[in-house]
Amino acid sequence: MAYSGPFQPGDKVQLTDPKRRHFTFELTPGAHFHTHKGMIAHDEIIGSDEGSVVTSTMGTDFLCFRHLMVDHVLSMPRGAAVIYPKDTGQILVEGDIFSGARVLEAGAGSGALSMALLRAVGEKGHVFSYELREDHLSFAIDNVTEYFGQQPEHWSPRLGDFGEVTPEDLGGPVDRVILDMVEPWHFLETVKNVLIPGGVFMTYVATVPQLMNIMEGIRAQQCFTEPRAWETLLREWRVEGLATRPEHRMNAHTAFLVMTRRLADGVTPPRPQRKARR
pLDDT value at position 40? 96
User: 101 among the known binding-site residues?
Assistant: no
Q: Give per-residue pLDDT as tens, 227-256.
A: 999 999 999 999 999 999 999 988 889 999
Portion of the chain with pLDDT greater than 70, in percent:
98
Q: Give per-residue pLDDT as tens, 189-211.
A: 999 999 999 999 999 999 999 99
Across residues 60-73, what is the average pLDDT?
91
User: 112 among the known binding-site residues?
Assistant: yes
User: 180 among the known binding-site residues?
Assistant: yes
Cα 122 to chain centroid, rounded: 15
User: 253 among the known binding-site residues?
Assistant: no
Residues of the chain with CATH 3.40.50.150: 71-262
| Contact indicator for 230, 222 with CB cutoff of 8 Å | no
CATH class of the domain comprising 71-262: alpha beta
> Own/partner pairs for 261-267, CB < 8 Å, 24+ apart?
261/198, 261/199, 261/200, 261/201, 261/224, 261/225, 262/191, 262/192, 262/195, 262/196, 262/197, 262/198, 262/199, 262/201, 262/223, 262/224, 263/197, 263/223, 263/224, 263/225, 264/197, 264/198, 265/197, 267/223
pLDDT value at position 93? 97
Q: Give per-residue pLDDT as tens, 119-178.
A: 999 999 999 999 999 999 999 999 999 889 899 999 999 999 999 999 999 999 999 999
pLDDT value at position 100? 98
Residues of the chain with CATH 3.10.330.20: 6-67
Q: Give per-residue pLDDT as tens, 1-15.
A: 678 899 999 898 999
User: 49 among the known binding-site residues?
Assistant: no
State the fold for domain 6-67.
Answer: Vcp-like ATPase; Chain A, domain 2 (3.10.330)
Q: In the 8-state DSSP scheme, what is residue 1? A: -
